[in-house]
Structure 1
């Protein structure tokens, strides 16, 4: 195994950084950016080749009347239960690349999850598209891996049970060594599923195959690059750059490092570290045009399972990297963090403009609302496990890195963290680029200028040709699900809304996606039960009244009166319903007066439901200020009134209530929804995230929009 230590790396860089990359620098040592360059950043494509060919002939797909081809797609039910679309983003990618071509942009960075688990059939389709746009339009792609590409470091058996088959039934497809194929006697719901198809077209490729097939799109040096290095490049390669040496040193076999269950191996290994094995790392630095350095960080951390052997023969001996991120990068890929520090130093010495990208965020992505979210919804909800710790962000800022573009969350957001480290101020700008596969479909364009300024623009992909090409198959699926549900009203309620198929644009489809996710997944899975019942049974006027109510009536008493079953509520006696109605009437009069004082009427609040509030909540969480385009402007002032009224409540309700009979319905509502509106307000009032300017020299961020609707929430 290649040995490397922190001290060795430090000696290397101290001796060579000033002279490194000599072929890309002018003789006078100045190799700076001479003109503005635009780079598009498109994370989380989650590409699925809907018309991909199974080379083994195992599956021909569903005959599509519009294309004349066989469609290999996932069910609409699976799409409406996932944070990403699996199928229509195929068309969104083509539309986004066409938009990039129209803008004259030549460089496209892919901060991870460019695939949806790295299956051969889909990877071939993705590379075909990249090759086409390179050959026809001169685009250059630079990929960094995400937790879905690869799913684990090495190739592993895999598959899905929710491809869409004939008659609207599910079609399971698994690889040959998967248990579903090795043990075909496993039970299958014959009413809802065809028998399993076995094909190695759906294995999960590991690094070796993914890096190979995408080698010309970032992972390996190309002759037109002015410079290319990895964390494992030699002193000689850095000092006297040549394509041949770079190509040799960038070989897959040279980009392995040791990782242990407890932390980084190799020269970083500490006494007592166990379950160590070698895995690949695909990080690289590339200079595609004079003066611009793009730092592609492989931020995947696949920690060995305790007591495991690991290696290619044991691909399941590693944890997934989805929740690891930079918190675990510091402990388990420490050598890459040190390499980042070296790259930053070299960039400064050689006057290079450095922009980094990876799949994972480097800063908090909830506009400072993470603690409020955890208090309200509980530990582990809202993907909080993916949030970098404050100390992690500080350590990353301490490397000197300034600008980073991340993905993973499918959020539009801008993080800006400032720290004084050793008497010097460091500012880390983390640009969260949204996904084309969800709400709101968009990508980021960075206009990188020679004067240390970067203009960031968010490009929304609205109209997408052919986006409804697969709807004929979903119609058949919906009919099958409806027939299967029969007279079961609960089963019917859990079927995706058929009105989705009336979407007139891809943008409208993604809005349906966030609405169905809220209804089918987020509300049932994330929200406390009493809060969920409240929001699903209240309109805005009810909420304003509840913000004013003074009553001893408990949540359990109200649930019993309304026939709602809440776990933890025992049967109650002598509920004073008449007194509660009197309390409600008094609160109604107060609510009417408050509405009038704000130039509104209580009836205005009745125009929106609690479920619509929940959808707006998730719109703002995902899209930040972009979401204002879809929130009724008349509703925003009403949210503000509610937020102000609820902010006056100074009581506390434990997040784990236990015996709801101990708390009045008014106090529970005010506590829960007061916190909800605090979070909503933070979602709506963070850093500029649509169109803004970063000045790395002055360490400032300036909103370039004249005015935004989010000011209504301030």
Structure 2
């Protein structure tokens, strides 16, 4: 392609862009827990694909491989969600088998072990946990996430995107939802204008704490006879001093684990006279000692704030805000007593020489490697899940409790956060380990091994292969055919069904999620216009482009409408000729720059804007684990672009009509400079694959060698 044609085609798009606990022994003796391993599996989002609707309301789709009725969500719903709903069923079983093979006995579940706590799926989850406990001796310790429960108390619910016969969506809801008005019996079918009638059944309501803690009572929420110790923030001092299973069981009763929360903050002894809309809600936080010397702190970090002027209580489950974006920022204000309990428990662990590992559903530190401000600049306030991120003052307050090691979930990210603070002359170091989800890219779980001298090794176990992962594909094939026949405008890529492994399926998931949801919903239009119409070669040329031609002048030269600038209409062809000359000089500089770094400009043309966006989300989700799925030459190319673009200073304000006065190259440099900086931050944070934490020294050591990393690329 000639320079002229290449430049004009590219900039047609550019023109449009303008519209610490101490676990060591003083006497040097080996702790009994050294060598003990604990697996952490957050965000399973378990959905029983062969769930038994006990009322007979839904039999599912007959599956030719299993001979059972499949109760599943559509592939379309999966490809537009941050999690898989169906195949993670098989992934969880594969992960548990892997845990058994490794000889690990303890499995911590940092929230969202279910996908909205429906009875039909909770029964299936507990059945599997019971099986692995009985057959393999696994012990599970659950902490709730914002999907289990969705609100403190049971509420009506349902989904419109179950997969029904002939590839159509099947609506299934519970009593109390608008879709089931008038339904009072065990179950019923309500005719609709949709191809399939609505099924109304109590099997899909969303359980609250009482029911979820009850069915999982023997998997962490209640003390068990074999535990060495168990307490909650609501345990009595006497029970702590003179531990007995019977007393611990009595005090762990659901009714004894309630606290007062108000719209403005924590109730009880923290309550202020101005607080309103106060009510009693449950809290499932607990501390367990499954083996002598090891304390596992399961923090219930859900905060369901009462809505203003609400009554609350079991009869009014809708009177509470969701917990998704509350996290530890609101824990400090609305569950202050639990934060105080954390501090007291850390002190007790030191006094009693216990190794303390904590986990909860929500992160305790920044998970964007310090790029949050830039993310907000380019994607806008409130987007990109920034509301879920703890403030630095929040991380500081949590570090001040003395807590050292915390494993979180919620984000479905693989990441490591390390925050160190000097507070009143003392140094506090908080390590937040973000464990990825089995239900997305990259499917993995974390293993923490207790080492001597207050050290803990962290290993990330990636699920490469999952038996039976494609067992449900026959149903998706019918769904795809139905979408094509109906002329649906948005259809997932049928090549997904050619995936040869679960790992490959999750890579398809991040690609389709980027295409169907992230790019349409999260990215500014001007960036998308540029992104979809250029490749890496053109991006490097743009990074070197020096021109006075504005976006508006280029529009005029190309015969496109724009707000008039002095002389723009009359000198359009001259502007275009000037721009082509500037482009040629920019290309020469780009070639020289690439050569200086051992690269070739032509190699940058091997990837385009859409591939850049996919790699952007791969790195955001998986951190260094994503290196295996990105072409080896591409990361250094991204790095070079980041270095060339990010240092540019500009006064461009994108809320204004910057196309009138802003040079074409500057538009690209400012927008993509920030983008490449963020991408670089995603790829260069703390070690997140295999590393060693030294609690006493407050250090983190990467255990991956250069050779290990190169083998992944």
TM-score relative to the length of structure 2: 0.91
CA distance in 1, matches of 2:406, 2:52: 37
Q: After TM superposition, give the deviation of residue 482 of structure 1 in Å.
A: 1.4
Paired residues of 2:38 and 2:106 also in contact (CA < 8 A): yes
Tell me what 1:690 maps to: 689
- 1:245 corresponds in structure 2 to 247
Match in the other structure for 1:422: 424
Residue number in structure 2 paired with 1:155: 154
CA distance in 2, matches of 1:71, 1:677: 43
Please report how far the alpha carbon of residue 355 of structure 1 lies from its aligned counterpart in structure 2 after TM superposition: 0.5
8 Å contact kept, 2:190–2:199? no
Map of 2:589 onto structure 1: 590
How many angstroms does 1:597 deviate by?
2.6
Q: Distance in 2 between matches of 1:187 and 1:535?
A: 45
Q: Mapping of 1:635-654 within 5 angstroms?
A: 635-654=634-653
Measured in 1, the distance between the counterparts of 2:380 and 2:672 equals: 15
**Partner SS, residue 476 of structure 2:** helix
Q: 1:558 to 1:504 in 2, by over 3 A?
A: farther
Residues 57-101 of structure 1, C-alpha deviation per residue, up to 9 Å, x if partnerless? Answer: 111111111111111111111111111000000000000000000
Alpha-carbon distance, 1:638 to partner: 1.7
Change (3 A) 1:669 1:189: farther
Q: Deviations over 1:276-329 (max 9, x none)?
A: 000000000000000000000000000000010000000000000000000000
Query: Does the CA-based 8 Å contact 1:397-1:427 persist in structure 2?
Result: yes
Residue pair 1:405, 1:433 contacting (<8 A) in 2 also: yes
Shift of 1:542: 1.0
Q: 1:562 to 1:610 in 2, by over 3 A?
A: farther
Which structure 2 residues correspond to residues 554-569 of structure 1 after superposition, within 5 A?
A: 554-555=550-551
1:50 maps onto 2:49 in alignment: yes
Residue aligning to 2:626: 627
The aligned residue for residue 198 of structure 2 is 196
- Inter-CA distance 339–551: structure 2 relative to 1 (3 Å threshold): same
For the residues of structure 1 that align with 2:152 and 2:48, how far apart are their CA atoms?
22
Deviations along 1:439-466, one digit per CA (max 9) or x if unpaired, are 0000000001342110000000010001
**1:195: Cα distance to partner?**
2.1
Counterpart of 1:231?
233
> Unmatched 5+ residue regions in structure 2?
1-24, 184-188
Of residues 244, 266, 284 in structure 2, which corresponds to 1:264? 266
Which segment drifts farther, 576-585 or 366-375?
576-585
Distance change in 2, residues 1:584/1:97 (3 Å): same
Q: What is the correspondence of 1:505-524 to structure 2 with a 5 Å cutoff?
A: 505-524=501-520
How far residue 677 of structure 1 moved from its aligned partner, in angstroms, is 1.3
For the Cα contact (< 8 Å) 2:175–2:181, is it kept in 1?
Answer: yes
Deviations 1:604-625 (A, max 9, x none): 1111111111111111111011
* Contact 1:33-1:450 at 8 Å conserved across structures: no
Give the structure 1 partner of residue 3 of structure 2. none
Within a 5 Å distance, the mapping from 1:331-480 to structure 2 comes to 331-480=333-482
Aligned ranges 1:266-285 → 2 under 5 Å: 266-285=268-287
Indicate the residue corresponding to 1:287 in structure 2.
Answer: 289
Mapped pair 1:535 → 2:531:
yes
Specify whether residues 205 and 708 from structure 1 end up closer, same or farther in structure 2 by C-alpha distance, changes over 3 A only.
farther
| Cα displacement (A) at 1:131 | 0.2
**TM superposition shift of 1:711:** 9.9
User: Once the two structures are superposed, what CA deviation does each residue of 1:339-369 show, in whole Å capped at 9, x if it has no partner?
Assistant: 0011001101100110000000000001111
Once residues 389 and 558 of structure 2 are traced to their aligned partners in structure 1, the CA distance between those partners, rounded to angstroms, is 39
Task: Give a deviation string over 1:567-597, Cα, whole Å, max 9, x none.
Answer: xx65897244333333322222222222233
Correspondence for 1:605? 604
Contact 2:652–2:658, Cα closer than 8 Å, also in 1: no
Note the C-alpha offset of 1:218.
Answer: 0.1
**Per the alignment, in what secondary structure is the counterpart of residue 509 of structure 2?**
helix
Aligned length: 674
- Contact (CA 8 Å) 2:230, 2:289: kept in 1 or not? yes
Kindly indicate whether residue 300 of structure 2 is the aligned counterpart of residue 304 of structure 1: no
Q: Secondary structure at the match of 2:530?
A: helix
Assess, with a 3 A threshold, how the Cα gap between structure 1 residues 561 and 461 changes in structure 2: closer, same or farther. Answer: farther
More divergent stretch after superposition (459-468 vs 596-605): 596-605
Is 1:526 aligned to residue 522 of structure 2? yes
Q: Which moved more, 1:585-594 or 1:178-187?
A: 178-187
Query: Is it true that 1:550 corresponds to 2:546 in the alignment?
Result: yes
Change (3 A) 1:35 1:637: closer
Distance of aligned partners of 1:205 and 1:555 in 2 relative to their CA distance in 1, 3 Å threshold: farther
What is the rounded CA distance, in whole Å, between the counterparts of 1:270 and 1:349 in structure 2?
Answer: 34
Equivalent residue, structure 1, for 2:186: none
Where 1:197 maps in the other structure, the secondary structure is strand
Q: Does 1:182 align with 2:171?
A: no
Instruction: Give the TM-score taking structure 1 as reference length.
Output: 0.91
What CA distance in whole angstroms lies between the structure 2 residues aligned with 1:346 and 1:635? Answer: 50
Structure 1's unaligned 5+ residue stretches are: 1-25
| Cα deviation 1:363-383 (Å, max 9, x = unaligned) | 000111111111121111110
Cα offsets for 1:446-504 (capped at 9, x unmatched): 00134211000000001000101111111111111112227xxxx2xx31111111110
Comparing 634-643 with 405-414, greater Cα deviation is found at 634-643
Question: Does the 8 Å CA contact 1:378/1:655 hold for their aligned counterparts?
Answer: no
CA 1:471–1:571 in structure 2 vs 1: closer, same or farther (change >3 Å)?
farther
Q: Shift of residue 215 of structure 1?
A: 0.3
Higher RCO (C-alpha 8 Å, min separation 6): 2
Kindly state the Cα deviation for residue 151 of structure 1 after the two structures are TM-superposed. 0.1
Are the aligned partners of 1:275 and 1:305 in contact in 2 as well (CA < 8 Å)? yes
Cα distance in 1, alignment partners of residues 148 and 554 from structure 2? 49
CA deviation profile, 1:415-462 (whole Å, cap 9, x unmatched) = 000001111100000000000000000000000134211000000001
Cα pair 1:225 1:289 within 8 Å, conserved:
yes
State the alpha-carbon separation in 1 of the partners of residues 639 and 648 from structure 2: 15
